[in-house]
């Protein structure tokens, strides 16, 4: 068997499937301002608030998102470092985040 540059070990009888280590995806650092944007496009008319610009790792974002969802009384998710909160709760989100000492701006229309 010829050893090419394209060949790589994917299975070993000793340890089973060989997975390559996954690189940690680093998000770019923000400017220190948390932005809250209302978005309806691609959501069948349902509005969500996108909270972006928070410099935190995924575990902290999940914890913050859970707290915001609980205080707003609605659902949401964390996707690619952006917290999505269902419904138009921008004013309430701004108050909650400012209470945590964050600088917040309402983005978009």
- pLDDT band at residue 23 under the 50/70/90 scheme: low
**Alpha-carbon torsion angle 76, 78, 82, 83, nearest 10:** 30
Tens of pLDDT along 25-82?
565 566 778 889 988 887 777 888 999 888 888 888 899 999 999 998 999 989 888 8
Predicted TM-score (pTM) of the model is: 0.69
């Amino acid at each position: 068997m010829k050893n090419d540059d394209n060949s790589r070990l994917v299975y070993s009888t000793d340890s089973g499937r060989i997975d390559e280590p996954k690189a940690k995806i680093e998000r770019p650092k923000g400017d220190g301002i948390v932005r809250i944007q209302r978005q309806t496009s691609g959501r069948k008319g349902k509005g969500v608030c996108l909270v972006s610009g928070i410099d935190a790792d995924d575990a902290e974002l999940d914890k913050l998102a859970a707290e915001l969802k609980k205080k707003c009384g609605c659902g949401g998710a964390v996707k690619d470092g952006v917290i999505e909160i269902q419904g138009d709760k921008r004013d309430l989100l701004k108050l909650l985040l400012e209470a945590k000492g964050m600088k917040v701006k309402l983005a978009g229309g």
